[in-house]
Amino acid sequence: MSNRSADALFQLVKSLEKSEKRNFKLYVKRNTATDDLKIIQLFDALDKMADYDEKQLLKKAKSITKQQLSNIKAHLYKQILSSLRLIRDEDNIDIHLHEQMDHARILFNKGLYLQSLKVLERLKDTARAYQQLTYLQQALFFEKKIETLFITRSMQDRADKLSAESDTVNAQLATVNQLSNLSLQLYSWYIRHGHARNENDIKGLKIFFEKNLPAAAQQATGFYERLYFYQSYVWYAFIRQDFLQYYRYSQKWVDLFAAYPLLLKVETANYIKGMHNLMGAHFNLMNQVKLAESIKQFEQFTKQKYLQANENNRILAYQYLYTARINLYFLQGTFTKGLRLVPFLEEMLKEYGLYLDTHRVLVFYYKIACLYFGSGNNEKAIDYLNRIINQKGDLRTDLQCYARLLHLIAHYELGNFDLLEYLIKSVYRYMAKMENLSKVEEAMFAFLRRSFHVGAHALRPEFEKLLLQLKKYEGNPVEARAFAYLDVISWLESKISGVNVQDVIREKYLEGRRKSM
């Protein structure tokens, strides 16, 4: 993505749908005396641009000088947001509650205190139904203000009831705040480092988790307390690669929405994220039947009108749906079939490049590289791995490490021995610096060094020796990370049997199906 596109106003204009653009122009023309407006000229110029370029923008909007541009851009940005605010979204509970609060304040300012209290009571009923604790807290605060300043005689024991209600809501909010902080910090740890690298990581996470988990969390019954409670356990289990616990809490996360159906439209993004983790758990547990079922369930959900109407949720859903489909191809050993998705993925990455976070793009590159590697196309695998390796920043150091390791193996497959000696040293140094070297990786590096000095006729026994060595670590939770990112066992089996990696995995999948019948 071009850096020139990283302009806030440009991104906002490009996010608008046709109806929103039409509404904006009507809004501006209704509120001004002339159609010849500089902000309309600027809007049209931005709308026609593929990438943001200030020089080209000034050429297209000739009536705007360079000195005026900054102020007109700021004015246009506010006007677009104001026009969007007027498009009433019946399903947006935040906008609805905010509007009720505005009405209550207007009535209060008019001196109509009892009418204001009636609006606030309706607001509280809606806020309770949708578990919107912050709005409930605002309404209670406003009610207490009215009761303190004016004698309304609205009910007996008003002070006691308002105080008790405020205490309950504040306690709930305190628990939600603690749990959401814990969930966010665990997720942040994963984004920076990936899975736990060693015993020290696991011990440190355990201490941090237990220290920051609120004592009241287990007994919490509200939607948001339980949501963040389940999320915290999901990240905690996933980082430690306790995939069974990861599955259990992902399922609880998704099931929570069945208990609170009204919240599905309010917290659609959180449901999408929950389904993503549930599908990820099925993949990590190698349960292709459950993964296929969850994908069908999720596909049906993505067709909901309220999801399609929200750009953010639609993009998020498509990202996770593609990820799950690729994972199913991995489990079934149909890598070549999975490559049919690549053109659609590339188109999505191009179309939604402004909205996709770097972390998600890197994951897609790695998965595409694995599809090519598994199907035997090492050149294309290297192309996608280079996109990860050349990425600047400190996101997902684990993904950076395994991209380099797979990059090394792909060059080994191509017989690029003139590069391998340099690559082995470079990758080894990088992974050691990141504290990412496990026993599995140490064994692989030792094998690759030895293979330089072993003739082609003697490589098969070396592959068999490494396979036996690595199989000892398959059940080791600390070593599991290497197998989660790179199916080294299947690769070695493919080298021993002389077939592509996908053929080995496909045979394992078919054998598993035969046993389950």
- Is-contact 487 286, C-beta < 8 A? no
Which has the minimum average pLDDT: 119-128, 389-398, 404-413?
389-398
Q: What is the mean pLDDT of the chain?
A: 86
Alpha helices in 61-112 (DSSP H): 66-86, 93-109
- Is-contact 176 227, C-beta < 8 A? no
On the question of pLDDT at 6 being above 80, the answer is: no
| Beta strands per DSSP E along 322-435 | none
Q: Which residues lie below 8 Å from residue 160, measured CB to CB, with a gap of 6+?
A: none
- Is-contact 24 80, C-beta < 8 A? yes
Confidence (pLDDT) at 3: 40
Written as six digits, the tokens of 216 are 């009241």
Q: How far is CA 207 from the centre of its chain?
A: 26
Residue/partner pairs of 309-314 with CB below 8 Å, 24 or more apart: 310/268, 311/15, 311/17, 311/355, 312/269, 312/355, 313/268, 313/269, 313/272
In a 10 Å sphere around its CB, with 0-12 CB exposed, 13-18 middle and 19+ buried, how is residue 92 labelled? middle
Sole residue written with tokens 């209704």: 30
Q: Which residues lie below 8 Å from residue 62, measured CB to CB, with a gap of 6+?
A: none
On the question of pLDDT at 42 being above 80, the answer is: yes
CA separation for the pair 476, 489 (Å, rounded): 14
Split at pLDDT 50, 70, 90, the class of 36 is low
Percent of the chain with pLDDT over 70: 90
CA separation for the pair 345, 405 (Å, rounded): 24
What string of H, E and C letters represents the secondary structure of 216-256?
CHHHCCCHHHHHHHHHHHHHHHHHCCCHHHHHHHHHHHHHH
List the one residue out of 331, 328, 291 whose CA is nearest residue 505: 331
Split at pLDDT 50, 70, 90, the class of 90 is low
Confidence (pLDDT) at 151: 64
On the question of pLDDT at 456 being above 70, the answer is: no
On the question of pLDDT at 4 being above 50, the answer is: no
**Chain segment 164-197, per-residue pLDDT in tens:** 999 999 999 999 999 999 999 999 998 888 888 7
Angle made by CA atoms 442, 205, 474, in degrees to the nearest 5: 35
- In eight-state DSSP terms, residue 156 is T
CA separation for the pair 388, 376 (Å, rounded): 20
Taking residue 76's Cβ as centre, other Cβ atoms within 10 Å add up to 23
Predicted TM-score (pTM) of this structure: 0.82
- Count Cα atoms within 13 angstroms, Cβ side, for 203: 3
List the one residue out of 120, 25, 15 whose CA is nearest residue 352: 15
The predicted model gives 190-208 an average pLDDT of: 87
Confidence (pLDDT) at 35: 47
The predicted model gives 303-311 an average pLDDT of: 86
List the one residue out of 228, 224, 219 whose CA is nearest residue 187: 228
- Is-contact 264 257, C-beta < 8 A? yes
Cα four-point dihedral sign 372, 377, 378, 381: negative
Taking residue 151's Cβ as centre, other Cβ atoms within 10 Å add up to 7
Cα four-point dihedral sign 132, 133, 135, 139: positive
- Is-contact 400 431, C-beta < 8 A? no
The predicted model gives 477-505 an average pLDDT of: 78
For the chain, what is the radius of gyration of the CA atoms? 28
Split at pLDDT 50, 70, 90, the class of 155 is low
The predicted model gives 401-409 an average pLDDT of: 86
Confidence (pLDDT) at 1: 39
The predicted model gives 70-91 an average pLDDT of: 83
- Is-contact 470 446, C-beta < 8 A? no
The predicted model gives 18-40 an average pLDDT of: 79
- Is-contact 353 1, C-beta < 8 A? yes
Confidence (pLDDT) at 152: 60
Split at pLDDT 50, 70, 90, the class of 494 is confident
User: Which helix or strand (DSSP H or E) is residue 501 part of?
Assistant: helix 501-516
Angle made by CA atoms 70, 74, 76, in degrees to the nearest 5: 115
**Chain segment 330-380, per-residue pLDDT in tens:** 988 899 999 999 999 999 888 887 778 888 888 899 999 999 988 989 999
On the question of pLDDT at 453 being above 80, the answer is: no
Q: In this structure, what are the phi and psi dihedrals at residue 433, rounded to the nearest 5 degrees?
A: -65, -35
